[in-house]
Amino acid sequence: MKNKEHTRQVRDTVVKKFKAGFGYKKISQALNIPRSTVQAIILKWKEYQTTANLPRPGRPSKLSAHTRRRLIRDVATRPMITLDELRDLQLRWETVHRTTISCILHKSGLYGRVARRKPFLKDIHKKCNLKFATSHLGDTPNMWKKVLWSDETKIELFGNNAKRYVWRKSNTAEHTIPTVKHGGGSIMVWACFSSAGTGKMVKIDGKMDGAKYRTTLEENLMESAKDLRLGRRFVLQQDNDPKHKAKSTMEWFKNKHIQVLEWPSQSPDLNPIENLWKELKTAVHKCSPSNLTELQLFCKEEWEKMSVSRCAKLIETYPKRLTAVIAAKGGATKY
């Protein structure tokens, strides 16, 4: 009992001296105890606000605090490392199950996630994305309701299920996999939407050039704007594909009195139609099309099924998307 009382007094004295402004070294010298003991007492006091022996929560951790910190540090520097690689690299002399490592990472907020595929962004792309987001952050909700968002995408018959897991915190976009636009597929479609719902979707036969793009717009753009009740003063959003920015195409817009939204290159995070593309492809492949005819049919059916509320939500939350781009300094976001 005397030893326990003496230990308690030493701990209390360490804390009092630390509160008084003494450093670890001076406390160690004054009480004639190791500096590591002083450090352990102070760290325990900082974490639990007491130096008393606490009830043990269960079996002690098999890994030391130093090893746990090293694991977290290694995952932060190499986010694509697997649990087995991590165990072989850092724990060669210790028998530890991979779930033990997983639990340690989970406690630090790190979870295995599929790496998002994002276009490779150069500094000039990030700068342009940031400029767009900053200049439009103050736009009114009514302005975005007047925008008709358009794009083309390729949809594969059997889909692309390749996945790569990375360690990252929830709702972040670090450690993405760079992709190239239109990386393959079976059919190519053009479509548009606004906050009022989805517009027309058409399959593009063959290679789409400037002339075919203008024909697609001629046959579908104004009709979509009419169906969505956007009026004559709607704003068209399109990316900077050469056929979109061709001189003859821009003259067509001018003759039709259609305002085109200035758009930065390599900026899918800014375009909410990308979210609909992802949902469309997921829904289509759940239908398991067996040929191109079925693929085209399912694409149109699932596109028409997109709810108005979903479209409206994407536009309603657009300022949050701009804020995320600004926070990422023009880089990739969770969108």
Instruction: Kindly write down the DSSP assignment for every residue of 118-130, as one continuous string.
Output: EE---HHHHHHHH
Each residue's pLDDT tens digit, 78-109: 888 888 888 777 666 567 888 888 888 998 88
Own/partner pairs, 13-21, CB within 8 angstroms, 24+ separation: 14/38, 14/41, 14/42, 14/51, 15/41, 15/42, 15/45, 15/51, 18/42, 18/45
Amino acid at 197: G
Most confident of 24-38, 166-180, 188-202: 188-202
Residue 258 neighbours by CB under 8 Å, 6+ apart: 221, 234, 236
CA distance 331 to 335: 11
How many CA atoms within 13 Å lie on the side-chain side of 120?
4
Residue 160 pLDDT more than 60? no
Report pLDDT for 184.
39
pLDDT, tens only, 212-271: 999 999 999 999 999 999 988 899 999 988 899 999 999 999 999 999 999 988 887 889
Residue 322 binned pLDDT confidence (cut-offs 50, 70, 90): very high
pLDDT tens readout for residues 28-79: 999 999 999 999 999 988 888 888 888 877 777 788 888 888 888 888 888 8
- The pLDDT of residue 90 is 62
Q: What is the pLDDT of residue 215?
A: 93
pLDDT tier, 161 (very low <50, low <70, confident <90, very high otherwise): very low
The predicted structure's pLDDT at residue 223: 94
pTM: 0.65
- Look at residue 182 in the predicted model and tell me its pLDDT: 42
